[in-house]
């Protein structure tokens, strides 16, 4: 399977699954926008590290560092993709965080942070990407979720709730845009 000429944007692509998605799509010919926020006291730029790795392997990648907690991040990511490549064919929402606390101890602020990054940012990204995908009459949106969203896990109520909501969003988008 090749993705030559199909432009992809991947959130949370600085490490883990997102990095693996980026490397695989790049190896199969997709130009990419690699999103990951700067992290740590030193402002570690994992998005640029992955983009550099892709370019070193002969691929085409641009780093994008928006923090998905910001409402304007979705538009910034889509604008980066369109400015860099002129189209957006594949959007993979992979960014996510886990808050490990029992339900009885879960604070609303902790839940809001998990929901903001894992779910609300996916909605915002989808809304930002759909106009370009509709104009092209082509697009694929992938949400990385978890069995925690289906079955729950002890100590992962916020994460399970956010991933369960993401499954609902996925089904709604598929029904509306399929």
Q: Could you give the residue numbers annotated as active site?
A: 159
Nearest partner of 83 among 15, 9, 150, 161, judged by Cα = 9
Q: Are 61 and 31 in contact (CB under 8 A)?
A: yes
Pairing of strands 32-35, 61-64: parallel
Three-state DSSP state, 13:
coil
In angstroms, rounded to a whole number, what is the distance separating the alpha carbons of residues 168 and 49?
33
- 108 CA to centre of own chain: 23
Instruction: Let me know the angle formed at the C-alpha of 21 by 17 and 24, rounded to the nearest 5 degrees.
Output: 135
């Amino acid at each position: 399977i090749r993705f030559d000429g199909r432009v992809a944007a991947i959130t949370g692509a600085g490490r883990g699954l997102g990095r693996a998605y980026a490397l695989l799509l790049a190896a199969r010919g997709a130009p990419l926008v690699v999103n990951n926020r700067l992290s740590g006291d030193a402002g570690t730029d994992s998005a640029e590290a992955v983009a550099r790795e892709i370019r070193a392997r002969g691929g085409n990648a641009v780093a994008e560092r928006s923090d998905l907690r910001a409402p304007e991040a979705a538009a910034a990511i889509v604008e980066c993709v369109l400015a860099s490549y002129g189209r957006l064919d594949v959007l993979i929402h992979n960014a996510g965080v886990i808050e490990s606390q029992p339900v009885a101890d879960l604070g609303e602020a902790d839940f809001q942070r998990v929901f903001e990054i894992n779910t609300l940012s996916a909605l915002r990204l989808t809304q930002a990407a759909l106009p370009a995908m509709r104009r092209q009459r082509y697009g694929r949106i992938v949400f990385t979720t978890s069995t925690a969203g289906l079955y729950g896990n002890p100590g992962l109520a916020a994460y399970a709730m956010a991933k369960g909501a993401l499954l609902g969003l996925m089904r709604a988008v598929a029904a509306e845009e399929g």
